[in-house]
């Protein structure tokens, strides 16, 4: 009867292997790879990596299948849309559009919300009450209705989308920063700064703001995915970026009537949206665990 020899690790090596495995699980390698190749590189190097002009097409090449299907061509790896435009090139430029919208909206909304949140939490009283009522109003606004009203008034454009997103985003930053400020301002180093004669502006910028930066980074990371998803939804409904801008939401909308005969027109942009938002949410969770002292040792 044959014997089976089971080899085990030495007693001193097992903890090291377990520790290494924990570190691998904690490092967000997969989200970073997805974001690098799906969002960052296409956004920064779109003219260099896109094989075709995203706005020019040929009706003679409309609705070409992806390269691996019958009738496909390696010239158009992901196929073409109903105007004969290369889907891969439009998706690459669409990443640039999504990143630009997210960066501007989160920067402006975050700056407004952080400033008002610091003022609300630090001063309290009537200022706090007024700002919190504005926050409640902002959070209660219907997103789609607000976008449709702005589009009807000024027309679809990049800045229309930015305005809608800023109105929706600033309140989340204000509420988060206010809650953190209410706790931080009761600490001893704030009291010593007041005794030393520091002004309100100096206390808020030098002592309060640095203590809420970690929370702002986590929220901003999570908000990028939310902004991309919201911008895609608005563009899909015709209340976002105007055609022929190569935006992922517009590309999904262009293919909704062709989902049976030319499924790739909507499938690939929709998959890009899903993977990007998922990766950003995973990265935001990892940052929260790393930057929050309460969760760091759990």
Task: Give the span between the Cα atoms of 147 and 294, in whole angstroms.
Answer: 39
Architecture of domain 29-296: Orthogonal Bundle (1.10)
Asked if 34 contacts 275 with a C-beta cutoff of 8 angstroms, the reply is: yes
Per-residue pLDDT, 111: 93
Q: Which two tokens stand for residue 244?
A: 């022929």
pTM (two decimals): 0.81
Sites in the chain below the pLDDT cut of 70? 1-27, 292-298
Judged by DSSP in three states, 76 sits in strand
Taking the domains of the chain in order of start, what are their residue ranges? Answer: 29-296
Asked if 212 contacts 184 with a C-beta cutoff of 8 angstroms, the reply is: yes
Per-residue pLDDT, 1: 47
Per-residue pLDDT, 175: 92
Per-residue pLDDT, 46: 87
Per-residue pLDDT, 168: 86
Cα atoms in the Cβ-side hemisphere of radius 13 Å centred on 201: 0
């Amino acid at each position: 009867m044959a014997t089976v020899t089971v080899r085990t690790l030495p007693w001193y090596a097992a903890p090291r292997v377990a520790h290494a495995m924990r570190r691998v699980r904690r490092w967000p390698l997969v989200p970073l790879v997805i974001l690098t190749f799906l969002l960052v590189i296409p956004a920064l190097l779109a003219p260099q990596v896109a094989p075709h002009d995203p706005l020019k097409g040929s009706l003679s090449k409309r609705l070409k299948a992806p390269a691996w299907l019958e009738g496909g061509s390696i010239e158009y790896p992901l196929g073409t849309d109903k105007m004969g435009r290369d889907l891969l090139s439009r998706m690459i430029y669409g990443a640039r559009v999504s990143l630009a919208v997210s960066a501007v909206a989160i920067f402006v909304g975050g700056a407004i919300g952080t400033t008002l949140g610091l003022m609300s939490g630090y001063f309290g009283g009537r200022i706090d009450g007024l700002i919190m009522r504005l926050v409640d109003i902002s959070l209660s606004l219907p997103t789609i209705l607000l976008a449709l009203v702005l589009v009807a008034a000024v027309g679809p454009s990049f800045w229309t989308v930015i305005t809608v997103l800023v109105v929706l985003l600033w309140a989340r930053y204000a509420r988060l920063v206010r809650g953190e400020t209410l706790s931080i301002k009761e600490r001893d180093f704030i009291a010593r700064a007041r005794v030393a004669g520091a002004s309100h502006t100096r206390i808020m910028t030098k002592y309060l703001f640095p203590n809420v930066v970690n929370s702002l980074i986590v929220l901003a990371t999570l908000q990028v995915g939310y902004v991309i998803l919201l911008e895609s939804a608005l563009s899909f409904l015709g209340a976002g970026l105007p055609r022929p801008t190569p935006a992922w939401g517009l590309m999904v909308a262009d293919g909704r009537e062709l989902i049976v005969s030319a499924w790739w027109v909507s499938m690939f942009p929709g998959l890009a949206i899903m993977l990007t938002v998922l990766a950003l949410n995973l990265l935001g969770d990892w940052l929260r665990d790393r930057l929050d002292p309460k969760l760091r040792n759990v």
